[in-house]
Amino acid sequence: MGRWVPPEAIASALSGNETALDDLITGIWPACFRLAMMVTGDRGLAEDAAQETCVAVYRKIRSLRRVDAFDAWLYRIIMHESTRVRRRSGNVTEPTDHITTTDSHITLDVWQALGELAPELREVTVLFYFHDLSGEEIADALRISHGAVRMRLSRARDRLRILLGDYDIELRTGYKEMNYAV
């Protein structure tokens, strides 16, 4: 799992330093928004989910017991908030045809294919391929079993193969090859 912010920033925020907590929130916002955008497929919903994530972090940071648990804790909050705002809006399967990205390696057809996935398949795909989380880390973040993660990834791969046809994911995106090792 990658680091959202340096461990020192987390430790300082955990100690009750309000300035450090504000800096922590400022530091995590962009990545929270990007992940929420990939999961929800909607800019407005992503902003809501990222904002709610930051509010939850602000309110609950002192309940975190260890600095090294921050990443998994934050993934869990983002995924929960993204799912919650998507369900509340009624846009459960809205395609991501309007997503724009600054990542030159990810092309629009990949974004559109992601948008065609059911939300639960999109979530595991984004976490596995774009955030490099292991199957166990995804299971922890989504609070589902490792077997459920493997099943969802398998279904997502099958669906993406259909949607993308002969499109070569690794060549076009530079991301991990779509293999079955989780």
Average pLDDT, the chain: 82
Q: Where are the domains of the chain?
A: 1-94, 96-182
**Is the pTM for the entire model greater than 0.75?**
no
The domain 1-94 is classified under which CATH number: 1.10.10.10, 3.90.190.20, 1.10.3210.10, 1.10.1740.10? 1.10.1740.10
Q: Does residue 181 surpass a pLDDT of 50?
A: no
Residue-wise pLDDT for 30-73, tens only, equals 999 999 998 888 899 999 999 999 999 999 998 998 998 898 89
**Whole-angstrom distance, CA of residue 106 vs CA of residue 84:** 26
Closest CA to 99 of 89, 108, 86, 87: 108
Q: What is the pLDDT of residue 178?
A: 46
Q: What is the pLDDT of residue 112?
A: 80
Which amino acid is it at 2?
G
Q: Does residue 174 surpass a pLDDT of 80?
A: no
Residue 122 CA, chain-centre distance (Å), reads 9
What residues contact 64, with CB distance under 8 A and at least 6 apart? Answer: 10, 14, 70, 73
Residue-wise pLDDT for 102-139, tens only, equals 444 456 677 788 888 998 999 999 999 888 899 999 99
H-only helix segments in 15-117: 18-40, 43-60, 70-89, 108-116
The domain 96-182 is classified under which CATH number: 1.10.3720.10, 3.30.420.40, 3.30.420.10, 1.10.10.10? 1.10.10.10
**Residue 160 token pair:** 């993406």
Type and span of the H or E element at 169: helix 169-173
